[in-house]
Amino acid sequence: MEMSRTTAAPVKRRRLFQNNPSVLWFMGQLGLFTLGVTILSEGFGIGVISTNLVKILGMTLCLCLIAIAMDVVWGYCGILSLGHFAFFGLGGYAIGMWLMYARTEIVIRESLAGGTIPPTEREVSEAVASQIFSVVGSNELPLIWTFAGSLPFQLAMVVLVPGLLALIFGWLAFRSRVTGVYLSILTQAMTLALSLYLFQNDTGLRGNNGLSGLQNIPGFLHVPQSVISVWFFWASAFALGAGYLLFAWVVSGKFGSVIRAIRDNEARVRFLGYNVEGYKLFVFTLTAVISGIAGALYYPQAGIINPSEIAPIASIYLAVWVAIGGRGRLYGAVIGAASVSLLSSWLTGGGAPNIDLGFYRIIWTDWWLVMLGLGFVLITLFFPKGIGGLFDYLVRKQ
Amino acid sequence: MPRPSLIAILALCLFAWSLPAPAAAQSQTPLQDVLQGVQEQVARPSRAQVGAVLEALQAADAPGTASFLNRWAAREVYERPEDGLFFYGREGPDRSLTLIDIDTDAEVAEVTTRDVNQIRVNAGVRREIEASLVTFELLATDRDRRIGALRTIARSPEPDHIPALETALAEEEDGAVATRMARVLDLLNARFASDSATRVAAIEGLSGDITTEARRVLNQILSTESQFATEIPEGTNVARIRTPGEDLDLIDAYARLAEAGLVPPRPGRNAIRDALRANVSDGEVAGIPVHRLNTEEARREAYRALQEQGTVPPLPTQAEMDEAVGHFVFFDVYEEPDTAVTDAARDALDSTRTAIGLWQFLSLSLDALSLASIFFLAAIGLAITFGVMRVINMAHGEFIMMGAYTGFVVQTLIPNYTTSLIVALPMAFLVTFAAGVALERTVIRHLYTRPLETLLATFGISIALQQLAKNIFGTQARPLTSPDWLAGSLALNDIVSVSTIRVAIFVMALAFLLALVLILNRTRLGLEVRAVTQNPGMAASMGINPDRINMLTFGLGSGIAGVAGVSIGLVAQVTSEMGANYIVQSFMTVVVGGVGSVFGTLAGATLIGALQKGIEWFNPGNTLAAQTFMVLFIILFIQFRPKGIVALKGRAAGD
């Protein structure tokens, strides 16, 4: 995606920024934020921000990335997908397999190196398998782990698995003209099926134990987490910036007009001779791939991934973020995802002080979801444009 | 439901009718008198004379005889030398002994063990007594006791039981009991009879018998053992000959020969590695540098080099193993030597398997039906709100949860489970009806033109309600106990059984279906609902108030969800997340069945229930896999029939 933009003529880029003044502004903000966090971090700066907080901020950037993908597919193209977290999770699993395999292999090789004769490849892979899979009562390496030791292969999987799944699913769904709430329910069924599948112990991804220890990066096992967390923060910021540019480019220009037209009146676009299914399929697949990449950056910072991460509820939260932020505008999705997920982790993490009303004590961990749910209803009813709508209001007032 | 009062009346009648019974029992000879009649033989039992005692006891059939026989055999009976009376004794500290009257169970006296004679029963006599105990029970006048004895024999069959059973069968007058006796006799004869013809006949009698006891007996007869020999000995009852390389692993076959000491053992991968480790010298093994030993081939090569030096046991080549194994025949042999018996048992088991297959299919169908009724109950409310009104209510699951918690609260207030259930059902309807109306008035009516946003707004309600339930009731699962008369199960045979509660839920689902069809098709409200959903403008101009109808319809759908919640709570745990478990499945039920049709929802629920159980049949014990494949199937199904099984046509189809 980097390539496509650099090869684009400067004329086009000027037009992109002219059409979307918010892109440059967003890039500036993101750059400043990244710089600020780096200076304040433990690994590279003065250590005001703890490593844990750097990780949370990096993870939030990944959530912002999947939120703008969701915004493009829903806010711009009108497909309310309740399954994009499945792609996010698949990206995480793909990279998690390499992280877990390669780290275990290093540990196993170190422990076997002490023997009088060197271990065979088979001995190593058997030892790795029994180390990883003893928790689900198996000691054989499942077929899908055959190339788990290869970073390029698993990186390709980060893109290919979500992309192919979205392509096949989208092709089936759009071809038979499943639209509206039916499509939403179908995507929800997809993510439910996937999470149920991954919950099984015999599917080769450790069932409900998931993949763990992902924060240890093979090859950099002796680099402290404070440094690694900043690296991942940078990577997340870069991915968010690149993703933002890519999507800003996609939704501007003629392509953007067509997908917005599909959102507003699908039948009319079809009668005008456009291949509606093709456009939808492209948007669905592209956003799925970006979601996969976001997941691949998110889970090494989270350290663990398990099937409950891709339960239907996660994808619904994604829609909530985008709706609160204001759909149909990329910065709205970023604002929604960042504010709601940070507020959520602050309130449920015990960071916020409980309020004693005398007759009742408000404990935020108990009441946050109630507030979020009701607040969300109010926003849907009275502010359908979300927080982003406020900007419109202010601009018009000026 | 007049059940408890009915039971009370029945009990009263029974009581009145059975009053004369104790008087009749008293007219029987007390056990003590019977025993005094054969005092000498009881006090000094011997194998030759025990028969007389048993006959006497049998003839008198005094109450407590079985208990006496048991305790007699267990040496708990004492004789008082002064009058020759018998007592049960309970040993206390310091050789003290409490004498207990045999007939009344009353404590008679406190003595020491020196004052009375403990009756010592030797092993031979004990066996006689125990055999007679079975006979005694089999010949009891009480039918239930005879059946109980049969059950005990079937559970732990012994060869000694055969003559007793034969005697009992000859005297049995009750046809049903006689049939059971004959069957148990077959069970015993199949395993223990001495001549082959009797056994074969008995086995043929067991053919098609699906009880676990019968199958266990047949499987026991057919148990095999793996053996090998240079050639199969004469008179061996061979079950199967195994060919190495085909249905027997060559390395396993060789290992078995090695185990028997016929060939030198074959060193495995670990043995080779250990041997190499032991023979490392100057950084190499038999001339091969250590660092090269990181492949299987290199290791074997090094091992063979060591083998030539004679330092390690030989590693047989493929050809050598083939040759060694080729000298022997590997076969499975029946532990039962008689071919006629094993053949008959195999045939019997085959026909039993067919019968089992049929019964299991029936059982599976019942399971599927029961699952389908749960899906139907969960989805039926949605069939109204989503199917008829086209409102996506993601909080539907929370209405189910709300209904279940209403049931729980009612149950904590009213301790009688039957009454509380009767109160809980309408209560749940009222609570969720009110909640539904409130939701429709405050949120949904503003969003009728924006279906996707209804989805999101009701999802907000859903997470808020879930968290509220968690705050109020805590996170642990709350039980919703069903009354005793719903707790049992209906068993047709050893394979097919349905718990009563599932039957009740099935009946409930049927009742719901009927009620809903009646309301929608036969009442004023139903007419107005259909009118408003098909064309609100036209309905309004005909004098129908669409607001009121929408409110009532949504309330009705929600209220039904609440009642469904009570029934689901009886089979599943009541938690704040129980609704979320059903919501996706419920939507799929409605979509698969066909939006807008109650019968469609029924068809959808039946299809999904049958499918899930069907998949479980192929992959037993893996509910998760069944659910995964079911969801995949639904995704594919919607590809080919996007409007569902029952697709509405014409104006009713709306769009």
* Interface pTM, i.e. ipTM: 0.82
- Say if residue B655's pLDDT is above 60: no
Q: Chain B contact for A124, CB < 8 A?
A: no
Confidence label for A86 from pLDDT (cuts 50, 70 and 90): very high
- What is the tens place of the pLDDT at every residue in B73-100? 778 888 888 888 888 888 877 778 888 8
φ, ψ for residue B373, nearest 5 deg: -70, -30
Residue in this structure with the two tokens 């995949």, named with its chain if needed: B632
The amino acid present at B354, given as its one-letter code, is T
Q: Chain A contact for B472, CB < 8 A?
A: no
Rounded CA-CA distance B32/B9 in Å is 39
Record: contact A188-B584, CB cut-off 8 A = yes
> How do the domains of chain B map onto residue ranges?
32-127, 139-223, 225-334, 357-653
- Say if residue B26's pLDDT is above 60: no
Query: What residues 585-624 of chain B have any CB closer than 8 A to a CB of chain A?
Result: 587-588, 591, 622, 624
Confidence label for B13 from pLDDT (cuts 50, 70 and 90): very low
Tokens of A306: 């398990």
Residues of A in contact with B638 (CB under 8 A): 176, 178, 182, 186
Q: Chain B contact for A360, CB < 8 A?
A: no
Rounded CA-CA distance B272/B299 in Å is 7
Residue B117 pairs with which residues in a beta bridge? B79
Highest mean pLDDT among A297-301, A360-364, B509-513: A297-301
Record: contact A189-B635, CB cut-off 8 A = yes
Residues of B in contact with A177 (CB under 8 A): 642
Rounded CA-CA distance B174/B203 in Å is 24
Full-model pTM: 0.77
A181 to chain B, closest Cα gap in Å: 6
Confidence label for B649 from pLDDT (cuts 50, 70 and 90): low
Residues of A in contact with B447 (CB under 8 A): 380-381
Q: Chain B contact for A182, CB < 8 A?
A: yes
pLDDT the model gives residue A96 = 95
Which DSSP state fits A8?
Answer: S
Confidence label for A170 from pLDDT (cuts 50, 70 and 90): very high
- Identify the CATH assignment for B357-653 out of 3.30.2000, 1.10.3470, 3.90.15, 3.30.420: 1.10.3470
Proportion of chain B above pLDDT 70, given as a percent: 94
- Say if residue A225's pLDDT is above 60: yes
Confidence label for B156 from pLDDT (cuts 50, 70 and 90): confident
Residues of A in contact with B588 (CB under 8 A): 185, 189
Query: Residue A141: which domain range?
Result: 2-397
Task: Give the mean pLDDT of chain A.
Answer: 87
Rounded CA-CA distance A326/A383 in Å is 9
Residue in this structure with the two tokens 């009344």, named with its chain if needed: B104
**Which three-class secondary structure state does DSSP give residue B198?**
helix
Domain count along chain A = 1
Query: CA angle, corner A377, sides to A376 and A383, nearest 5?
Result: 80
Tokens of A251: 């939704």
Beta carbons within 10 angstroms of residue A336's beta carbon: 29
Query: CA angle, corner B30, sides to B26 and B35, nearest 5?
Result: 170
Q: How many CB pairs under 8 A join A and B?
A: 149
Q: What is the CA radius of gyration of chain A?
A: 22
- Say if residue B296's pLDDT is above 90: no
pLDDT the model gives residue A85 = 94
**Which three-class secondary structure state does DSSP give residue A397?**
helix
The amino acid present at B617, given as its one-letter code, is W
Rounded CA-CA distance A337/B503 in Å is 48
A300 to chain B, closest Cα gap in Å: 27
What is the chain A residue with the closest CA to B444? A381
- What is the tens place of the pLDDT at every residue in B314-334? 788 888 888 888 888 888 888
Rounded CA-CA distance A375/A386 in Å is 11
Interface probe for A, chosen from B446, B456, B612, B641 (most Cβ of A below 10 Å), is B456
pLDDT the model gives residue A13 = 53
Proportion of chain A above pLDDT 90, given as a percent: 42
pLDDT the model gives residue B214 = 81
Query: CA angle, corner A288, sides to A285 and A292, nearest 5?
Result: 140
Task: Give the mean pLDDT of chain B.
Answer: 81
pLDDT the model gives residue A14 = 55
pLDDT the model gives residue A235 = 95
- Say if residue B134's pLDDT is above 90: no
CB B491 within 8 A of CB B497: yes
DSSP B239-294: EEEE-BTTTB-HHHHHHHHHHTTSSPPPP-HHHHHHHHHHT-BTTEETTEEGGG--
Record: contact A377-B639, CB cut-off 8 A = no
pLDDT the model gives residue B381 = 85
pLDDT the model gives residue A246 = 94
- Say if residue A155's pLDDT is above 90: yes
- What is the tens place of the pLDDT at every residue in B61-76? 777 777 788 788 778 8
pLDDT the model gives residue B478 = 85
CB B4 within 8 A of CB B418: yes
Rounded CA-CA distance A79/A367 in Å is 31
DSSP B452-520: HHHHHHHHHHHHHHHHHHHHHH-SSPBP-PPPGGGTSEEESSSS-EEEHHHHHHHHHHHHHHHHHHHHH
Comparing CA positions, the residue from B195, B154, B187 lying closest to residue B341 is B195
The amino acid present at A342, given as its one-letter code, is L
The amino acid present at B514, given as its one-letter code, is L
- Nearest by CB to A117, from B276, B624, B625: name it: B276
Average pLDDT over residues A20-41: 89
Contacts of residue A303, Cβ cutoff 8 Å, sequence gap at least 6: A212, A213, A214, A215
The amino acid present at B644, given as its one-letter code, is G
**C-alpha pair distances (Å), A316 with each of A108, A268, A322, B456, B459:** 41, 29, 10, 8, 8
CB B134 within 8 A of CB B161: yes
How many helices (H) and strands (E) would you count in chain B? 27, 12
- What is the tens place of the pLDDT at every residue in B503-546? 888 898 898 889 888 988 899 988 888 888 788 888 889 888 98
- Say if residue B25's pLDDT is above 70: no
Average pLDDT over residues A32-53: 89
Comparing CA positions, the residue from B592, B534, B635, B36 lying closest to residue A192 is B635
Positive/negative CA dihedral, B203, B206, B208, B212: negative
Average pLDDT over residues A151-166: 95
- Say if residue A2's pLDDT is above 50: no
- Say if residue A133's pLDDT is above 80: yes
Mean pLDDT lowest among A242-251, B160-169, B563-572: B160-169
- Say if residue B242's pLDDT is above 70: yes
Q: Chain B contact for A227, CB < 8 A?
A: no
**C-alpha pair distances (Å), B519 with each of B289, B403, B435, B512, B540:** 89, 21, 21, 10, 20
Tokens of A12: 């086009």
